[in-house]
Structure 1
Amino acid sequence: MTAYALEQDYWRLLGEGVGAIILYAIVGLALMLIGFYAIDLTTPGRLRGLVTAGKPNAIIVTAAGLISMAFIVVIAIYTSGGALVEGLIASTVFGLIGIVAQVISVRVLEKAVGIHIGEAMHADTFTPASLVVAAAHFALGLVVAFAIF
């Protein structure tokens, strides 16, 4: 009969891992909320109301913004090399920089392309311009995330 024993530090390491997950989840959630409100502040109309009302273009743009923020947070966590405090700080700083870069760049792109995002966000039907704005959010999230490397 073989007896199985846990490593001496198993419970401590498990607790540290659970704590890290919780802390990163809190930072990630906070950054996504900040990112949502940054998009809301720079987009004509109340974004939350548009999403709640089921406006398809608002939903597409919001989803792309949140996914791009997740890229930034994930890469910041990955590059922290397991150092919890440094990883949390890096995730927060890079996330905030990413939010600012996204909002400014997407608005510049909208102007350059001639998209009137306010009209698209309020539309009851899908507008192709929302895909351009969503792609800008997505692409910029990737650019910022890989710049962290």
Structure 2
Amino acid sequence: MDYTTLALDPGFGSAIGRGIGAIALYAVVGLVLMVFGFYAIDWTTPGKLSILVRNGAPNAVIVTASGLVSMAFIVVVAILSAVGKLDEGLLTSLIYGIVGIVVQVAAVRLLEWVTRLDIGSIIESDKFAPASVVVAAAHVALGLVVAFAIY
């Protein structure tokens, strides 16, 4: 009868520990970037998005949600592009993430200016405005462009 022993490599536990630590650190960097991204959208968009979203303004919800999705694309690709040692990867993610968020917000504001959309009145309206979908699409599209520029 052939008996085989199932055993883990001696370094398995420490490798798992390092991996869990890396996940936690990247999660913190990702959270910091997402919060920064939210405030970047809020500061550069007319009106107070957080209040409008809390009050249920449909266009503010659409624009904010799409902005957060676009920020997530940028943060994920910034983390994905981070290679090397953990400290270098975290710093690279943070730098690329911040630059990507700034570029994305500036590009969306420029696109709104070029299209002459009055984003302030759109997001403050209690009635759904189809133009909010255009702004949302711009957020997502430009977020993807910036994310792939990072990669």
Q: What is the aligned length?
A: 149
Instruction: Check the 8 A contact 2:74/2:101 in 1, yes or no.
Output: no
Quote the Cα distance in structure 1 between the aligned partners of 2:85 and 2:132: 39
Q: Which residue of 2 aligns with 1:9?
A: 11
Alpha carbon RMSD of aligned pairs, Å? Answer: 1.4
What is the letter of the counterpart of residue 58 of structure 2?
A: P
Q: Counterparts in 2 of 1:13-28, with a 5 A limit?
A: 13-28=15-30
Instruction: Check the 8 A contact 1:68/1:137 in 2, yes or no.
Output: yes
TM-score for both structures, normalised by structure 1:
0.93
Q: Which residue of 1 aligns with 2:129?
A: 127
1:88 to 87, 90, 93: 90
List structure 1 segments (4+ residues) > 3 angstroms apart after TM superposition: none
Per-residue deviation, 1:125: 2.1
Please say if 1:109 is aligned against 2:114: no
Q: Which residue of 1 aligns with 2:59?
A: 57
Per-residue deviation, 1:91: 1.2
Largest Rg, 1 or 2: 2
Instruction: Check the 8 A contact 2:123/2:132 in 1, yes or no.
Output: yes
Per-residue deviation, 1:40: 0.9
- In structure 2, runs of 5+ residues without a counterpart are none
- In structure 1, runs of 5+ residues without a counterpart are none
Quote the Cα distance in structure 2 between the aligned partners of 1:140 and 1:86: 27
Q: Which residue of 2 aligns with 1:70?
A: 72
